[in-house]
Every structure is written in structure tokens, then in C-alpha cells.
């Protein structure tokens, strides 16, 4: 069974009614991914409390609340997918590269906050996972360059793919085995 699809980005932006910018929506998805990686049995209400704690969304209107809960459910579904079909929720390709880069950096900020916003520490991480977290910290500080050519677009998509893979790596490392899985 395929995982749930993320809500439409532009629809979510319209439901926010001007209260959230493009980059903030991406940060919200990063927070969802971080929370779901670290505390994968979390519920939608846990996610909404995290967003309030991060001062991203507080007492959202009903339409936005529904979108946020759908976003969290889809994120959990995608992170549990054996075929690794995780999407990173970013503005569409029609948006300028500098805005998409800012959203990508905010996604990383949200992811790191989502990891930190769950109970307990991260424990002993593998070298790969520790390096991935450091990469996320560096990407969170990224700024768009002057170029907007094919090379810059290709580099952007490579970073998005890297984030997808890193998220799945961290999810596997942090969740540990399920009760019905054999440990080898």
C-alpha cells in the first residue's frame, strides 16, 4: 500500500490565511519529520503542541488545523514506508530558487527542532547519523547564491534528495526495532 500523500502546499498556504510564509510551511514539515523520527508513536495533538512550542502555529483556524493533522499523518505514513517514498514539503518549482533555498534551510531548522522537541536524548548515534545531523545544521544556515541556472537547480535537487535519505537514515537509527522485528 502506498504511503499517504502530503497535502497540497499551495492549499495549505491559502488555509494559513497569511499567517505563514512559504519557508514557515516547510519548517513545519521539517518539525513533523523530526518529531516522527524521534518519537514515531506521536499523535497529531503532540505535533500541534510542538508547533505552538516552536511559535510557528498557535490555535490554528479549523482549515489549517485539518491540513496540519493531515500533514503529520502523511509524514508518519511516508516515514514508515518500506520503499522510502518520503517527500520533502517545499514550495513548487515555479517559485524563485532563493525562496526555495530559504524554505529548504527552514525545513532543516524545523527538523532539528522536531528532534529536540521530543522526550529523551538522542542517545549514542552512529558516525553516519552524527555527520548527517551536522550536515542538517549547516544546511539550516544556507543562503541562496547569486546564480539561478541549471547547475544551481541541479545542486538544489541533490540537496533535497540528500535530506530525504538522511531523514530515513535518522528515522531508522532512532526508532530501533519494532516489537515484531528480529534483531540481527
Helix (H, G, I), strand (E, B) or coil at 71: helix
Q: Say what the pLDDT of residue 174 is.
A: 84
Q: Say what the pLDDT of residue 156 is.
A: 92
Q: What is the pTM of this model?
A: 0.90
Q: Say what the pLDDT of residue 142 is.
A: 76
Q: Which domains does the chain have, with CATH numbers?
A: 9-175 (1.20.120.740)
- Tell me the C-alpha distance between 128 and 132, whole Å: 6
Q: How far is CA 146 from CA 51, 97, 100, 158, 161, in A?
A: 32, 10, 14, 18, 22
Query: Which parts of the chain sit beneath pLDDT 70?
Result: 117-123, 144-148, 176-184
- Tell me the C-alpha distance between 33 and 167, whole Å: 7
Q: Say what the pLDDT of residue 182 is.
A: 46
Helix (H, G, I), strand (E, B) or coil at 11: helix
Amino acid at each position: 500500500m502506498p504511503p499517504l500523500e502530503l497535502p497540497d502546499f499551495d492549499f495549505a498556504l491559502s488555509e494559513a490565511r497569511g499567517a505563514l510564509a512559504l519557508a514557515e510551511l516547510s519548517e513545519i514539515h521539517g518539525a513533523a519529520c523530526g518529531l516522527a523520527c524521534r518519537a514515531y508513536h506521536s499523535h497529531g495533538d503532540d505535533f500541534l503542541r510542538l508547533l505552538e512550542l516552536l511559535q510557528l502555529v498557535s490555535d490554528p483556524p479549523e482549515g489549517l488545523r485539518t491540513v496540519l493533522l493531515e500533514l503529520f499523518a502523511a509524514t508518519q505514513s511516508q516515514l514508515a514506508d518500506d520503499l522510502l517514498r518520503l517527500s520533502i514539503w517545499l514550495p513548487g518549482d515555479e517559485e524563485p530558487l532563493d525562496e526555495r533555498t530559504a524554505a529548504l534551510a527552514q525545513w532543516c531548522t524545523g527538523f532539528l527542532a522536531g528532534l529536540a522537541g521530543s522526550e529523551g536524548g538522542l542517545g549514542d548515534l552512529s558516525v553516519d547519523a552524527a555527520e548527517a545531523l551536522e550536515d542538517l545544521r549547516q544546511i539550516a544556515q544556507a543562503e541562496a547564491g547569486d546564480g539561478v541556472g541549471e547547475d544551481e537547480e541541479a545542486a538544489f535537487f541533490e540537496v533535497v534528495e540528500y535530506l530525504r535519505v538522511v531523514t530515513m537514515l535518522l528515522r531508522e537509527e532512532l526508532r530501533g526495532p519494532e516489537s515484531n522485528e528480529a534483531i540481527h
